[in-house]
Amino acid sequence: MRRLSCLCALALLPAAALAHDPYSYAQPDQVRVSHLDLDLDLDFSGKTLKGHATLDLDWRSRAAKTLVLDTRDLHIRQISAVGKDGRTTVLNYQLAKADPQLGSKLTIQTPQHPARIRIDYSTSPTASGLQWLSPAQTADHSQPFMFSQSESIHARSWVPLQDSPVVRFSYDAHIHAPSQIRVVMSAINDANHPLNGDFRFDQPRAIPSYLLAIAAGHIAVKTTGPRSAVYAEPGMDAKAAHEFEDTEKLIETAEHLYGPYRWGRYDLLVLPPSFPFGGMENPNMTFATPTIVVGDKNLVSVISHELAHSWSGNLVTNASWRDGWLNEGFTTYVQGRITEAVYGKALADEEDLIAIRELQQSLPSIPQNAQKLAPPPLPVTADDALSELAYTKGSWFLRFLEARYGRQVFDAYLRGYFDHFAFQSITTEQMLAYLKVHLYNAHPGRVQWSEIVAWVYGPGIPQDAPIPHSARFDAIDQARAGFLAGRLTATGLQAQGWNTQEWEYFLDGLPAHSPLQQLQALDAAWHLTGTPNAEIGVRWYSHAIAAGDKAVWPAAREQMTRIGRLILTLPIYSAFAATPEGKAYAEAAYQSHRDGYHPLTQQAIEHLLQRSQP
């Protein structure tokens, strides 16, 4: 009981006492960047961005003598203070030796507290936050392509800044590019902008650094609604526009639930297949993987998720990656509500159940401290600090609160939460302090505070956590059991009407090492090898490889080398790496396609192959 009392008090501590970011050198308590002005030349041949960044500074401490920024592999040419009259004064600076994870600390001598400084610099061709693709690595093979991925701490590899989510800034940018190349950023984009190599952007809303984004290439545009459009490589644009034709309906649904969409436009950029994630919630311009464009809208929940970030994450942001569940748990909950309203409760429940089962299976292998929504500092990188537990346990906690308080009460609370913390970066403790006043105290007797503490600071999942029910999944459980027991043939599964989530559920429930003959019969009946649906493919190939079916190896290799999305690639590599012959095959495949992967995907595959011991 004493520990619970301490945690309750912790929820009321001021944010300043809890917002330290171990993944940044910045000292935002002394000075904060309030605005960023970028002027960059985009050089495909050199794989670099070159120009200058001008930072507006808000000095918070009279005693401060330096400005400390985060960088990684940047080539600094000069740093100057910029006066009100535009005149510059060169400043002294020190660029520290690079740390493998954090990059190089940039310390600028600023005893006079300049209001603006200008940093002339260029990026490295190997910048961790940028991927440069040759024409051969794109869909139509006509133009090169470049895109960024700044989350978690990769913005520092292409802009010198305070690379911490606790710091928010507005920005504008002037990007110079080759003609016939379209440039887009995480700002308002003009679909009719001429491809003249001169692009200007304005993001008036204050955003954290991980939401700073840029992409450039042979990009076509299709309008999908009054405030949305799809940007994609020619050939993919029409398919994507059809897949995402419900975008306006999704926006209106979210607005009805949680208040106005405050970013103006919501456009989508469908990236080449090497993009390492399903989607990235960059303001005004979600970056999305082409693997969700399957023609049946079964995977459009990825877009529901990224749109939901316009409230939870972009509008109200975690102050540090330790608080990442405030972004991803809240967003996953909102995603489910959007999906339910637009596509029905059955689909939303199926998606929740798949996530719940995956978490239940993985929990025994997760250290106790890492099972907490707001854990103590853990010895992990920033990219590893945010796990699937933040998504699933976080949203599960909010569904628990919804069940106890009822939707009407909980929706009103959540809408008030987004309004109250709009355009702020907050800690778990600030969220709990607001919850205590506006939900717990306002509606007494429905939840014990010890239950809330157990969800947030305790390991595992409370025993009374609500679990949705799916009649379709019950039927699939029965069919799978009959198939595995030999009572039902593969053709007798009657799977012709299954959606993506139902195939995922069926395959996830197969034994880790299924009999080869049964899997071959399943493939013969339902033609899983070569499926264009990568969510189904990653599960199918993992099972078939584990069962020893070498006939699937070429198709499995095609998926894992064509697609750079981590969750659709790493499990196949892992299945191959379980045997000496399979590992050799996977290593050869990786070496032949390494340059087509994003740096984050390269790191993940190399780590997996290095630590695997077949």
User: pLDDT by residue (tens digit) across 118-172?
Assistant: 999 999 999 999 999 998 888 888 999 999 999 999 999 999 999 999 999 999 9
Q: Are residues 551 and 491 in the same domain?
A: yes
- Name the band, by pLDDT with cuts 50, 70 and 90, for residue 1: very low
Burial pattern 553-565, b for ≥16 Cβ within 10 A else e, equals bebbbebbbbbbb
Residues 449 and 509 in one domain: no
Residues 423 and 484 reside in one and the same domain: no
Q: Mark whether 483 and 538 lie in a shared domain.
A: yes
Structure confidence at residue 19 as a pLDDT band (50, 70, 90): low
Give dist(CA 275, CA 130) in Å, integer: 11
Hey, what amino acid is at 208? P
Q: Is residue 315 part of a domain?
A: yes
Residue 305 marked ligand-binding: yes
- Any binding-site annotation on 593? no
Considering the domain architecture, whether residues 364 and 452 belong to the same structural domain is answered as: yes
The predicted pLDDT at position 3 comes to 28
pLDDT of residue 270: 97
Last residue of a domain, one of 457, 489, 515: 457
Whether 195 maps to a domain, the answer reads no
User: Do 345 and 419 lie in a common domain?
Assistant: yes
Tell whether 411 and 372 lie within a shared domain.
yes
- Asked if the structure places residue 504 within a domain, the reply is yes
Of all residues in the chain, the percent with pLDDT exceeding 70 is 97
Of the three residues 409, 426, 457, the one that is the final residue of a domain is 457
Domain count, the chain: 2
Q: Which of 391, 413, 417, 597 is catalytic?
A: 391
Domain that holds residue 415: 311-457
pLDDT of residue 177: 98
Q: For residue 12, what pLDDT is reported?
A: 35
Q: Are 366 and 402 found together in one domain?
A: yes
Each residue's pLDDT tens digit, 68-113 = 999 999 999 999 999 999 999 999 999 999 999 999 999 999 999 9
**Is the separation of the CB atoms in 404 and 446 below 8 Å?**
yes
Above 60 in pLDDT, residue 18?
Answer: no
Residues 440 and 491 grouped into a single domain: no
In this predicted structure, what is the pLDDT of residue 391?
A: 97
Confirm whether 520 is domain-assigned: yes
Q: Say which amino acid occupies 482.
A: G
Q: Residue 143: which region, alpha, beta or left (left: phi > 0; alpha: psi -120 to 50)?
A: beta
pLDDT tens-digit profile of 269-309?
Answer: 999 999 999 999 999 999 999 999 988 888 888 999 999 99
Q: Is 113 left (phi over 0), alpha (psi -120 to 50) or beta?
A: left
Quick one: pLDDT at residue 287? 98
Per-residue pLDDT of 400-450, as tens digits, reads 999 999 999 999 999 999 999 999 999 999 999 999 999 999 999 999 999
pLDDT exceeds cutoff 80 at 39: yes
What is the number of other CB atoms lying within 10 angstroms of the CB of residue 49?
Answer: 25
Domain boundary among 457, 492, 518: 457
Q: Collapsing DSSP states into helix, strand and coil, what is residue 511?
A: coil
Q: Are strands 424-426 and 285-288 parallel, antiparallel or unpaired?
A: unpaired
Q: What is the pLDDT of residue 11?
A: 36
**CATH number assigned to the domain comprising residue 559:** 1.25.40.320
* Residue 236 counted as domain residue: no
Q: Is 340 a catalytic residue?
A: no
Read off the DSSP letter of residue 115.
S
Set 151, 233, 306, 402: catalytic member:
306
Spatial neighbors of 386 by CB under 8 A, at least 6 apart, are 152, 321, 324, 327, 328
Query: Could you read off the pLDDT of 593-609 as tens digits, one per residue?
Result: 998 899 889 999 999 99
As a whole number of angstroms, the distance between CA 55 and CA 37 comes to 6
- Give me the mean pLDDT over the 528-556 stretch: 97
Mean pLDDT of the chain: 94
The model carries a pTM of 0.94
Q: What is the reported pLDDT for 8? A: 33
Task: State the DSSP code for 98.
Answer: P
Burial class (CB in 10 A: 0-12, 13-18, 19+), 364: exposed
State whether 571 and 604 are in the same domain. yes
Q: Does residue 236 carry a pLDDT above 60? A: yes
pLDDT interval class at 20 (50, 70, 90): confident
Is 442 found in the same domain as 483? Answer: no
Report the pLDDT value the prediction gives residue 140, as an integer from 0 to 100: 83
Write out pLDDT tens, residues 54-67: 999 999 999 999 99
Find the Cα–Cα–Cα–Cα dihedral 592, 595, 600, 603, rounded to 10°.
50
Active site residue 590: no
Neighbours of 428 (CB within 10 A): 24
> Which domain CATH number covers 360?
1.10.390.10
Burial class (CB in 10 A: 0-12, 13-18, 19+), 50: middle
Whether residue 352 lies inside any domain: the answer is yes
pLDDT at 251 over 60: yes
What are the angstrom distances between the C-alpha of 398 and each of 147, 390, 391, 392?
A: 34, 12, 11, 10
Is 438 known to sit in a ligand binding site? no
Residue 515 confidence (pLDDT) above 70? yes
Q: Cis link prior to 395 (omega < 30° from 0)?
A: no
To the nearest 10°, report the CA torsion of 302, 307, 309, 310: 170
Q: Beta 182-185 vs 130-133: how paired, if at all?
A: unpaired
Asked if 230 contacts 222 with a C-beta cutoff of 8 angstroms, the reply is yes
In a domain, 350, yes or no: yes
**Is residue 536 pLDDT above 70, yes or no?**
yes
User: Do 528 and 580 fall within a single domain?
Assistant: yes
Q: Is residue 336 part of a domain?
A: yes
Question: Rounded distance, CA 548 to CA 348, Å?
Answer: 35
pLDDT of residue 384: 81
